[in-house]
Amino acid sequence: MKNTLLFIIVSLIWGSTWLVIKFQLGVVDPLLSIFYRFILAAAIIFVFSFLRRLNLKFSLKQHFYMALLGALLFGLNYWFVYLAELHLTSGVVAVVFSTIIIFNILFGALFLKSKIRWNVVFSAMLGFIGIALVFWDELLGFTFSSANSVAFMFALVGAISASLGNITSAYNQKNDLPVIQANAFGMLYGALIMLTLAFITGKPLTFDFSVSYVASLLYLAVFGSVVGFGSYLTLLGNIGADKAAYVTLVLPIIALLLSTIFEDYQWTALAMIGVVLITLGNILILRRKRV
């Protein structure tokens, strides 16, 4: 029941961030928007940790793995997704990013010696087909032009980065690194890495004081980062990286439901079939195995 609740929380929050991120685009460079998001989120978690008197002293080796978590999960993967969406539609990027399930299964077996659960593979494939049907029209419009090919690779590298971040979190939890503190340091390191990249690439240090930008930034930092990643990585530790990654197949559906309300998205028969397949895979992947 707890894992199902965590799954629902993550799906609803991250499904809504696709819409909210739109208010971040325009004035501020993506590298800096990611920096602002995670430096704020890290500050919130550190304050919470101080108030709860949680342990914040860790070894150099543990800081290395928290920095690795930050680079992979709270930095680079977001940057690659932003770069991909400069040339590809969100539907194509969503389909590419959903391959994180496959990467989680492979990397889990490679680095964590996890068993490959064939029910998870089957459910993931159902979901993958479903997400492709939902975005079928956008996929048909995809062409391998020079810019699109590079953007496609960015999206794929983003999925690989996020998957390796998932595996790093699972490794950290297996080695008794608490999720809350690991997230705090990880987000701090990820934010600083994004800021460093912004300086290296010559991005001007700007900020947008408009209500839409500030409000979206607060939502992404508090709910999308603090609550979202806290819930997701806890879920990952409970049920494994392969099952937890199924969230990435549900997110675009939540985004589409919100788009129906706020952006007049028009559903097609293929999209409806895709939702059914994703829901079926969701049920299969979350149900408990009877003893």
Structural domain count of the chain: 1
Please name which of 25, 16, 43, 76 lies closest in space to residue 220, comparing C-alpha atoms: 16
pLDDT at 60: 96
Q: Is 208 part of a structural domain of the chain?
A: yes
Q: Is 94 part of a structural domain of the chain?
A: yes
Structural domain range at position 124: 2-286
The upper half-sphere exposure of residue 99, i.e. CA atoms within 13 Å in the direction of its Cβ, equals 15
Q: Which two tokens stand for residue 227?
A: 């609550």
- For residues 152 and 95, what is the distance between their CA atoms, to the nearest angstrom? 11
Kindly report, residue by residue over 28-59, the tens digit of the pLDDT: 999 999 999 999 999 999 999 999 999 999 99
pLDDT at 90: 66
Q: Distance of CA 87 to CAs 41, 77, 92, 183, 277, Å?
A: 29, 17, 10, 31, 28
pLDDT at 169: 92
Can you list the residues of the chain whose pLDDT is less than 50?
289-291
Q: Is 35 part of a structural domain of the chain?
A: yes
pLDDT at 264: 72
Q: Which residue has the tokens 């993550």?
A: 10
pLDDT at 263: 65
Q: Is 291 part of a structural domain of the chain?
A: no
Q: Distance of CA 234 to CAs 10, 66, 90, 180, Å?
A: 11, 15, 27, 9
pLDDT at 290: 40
Q: pLDDT > 70: what percent of the chain?
A: 94
Q: Which two tokens stand for residue 229?
A: 């990643």
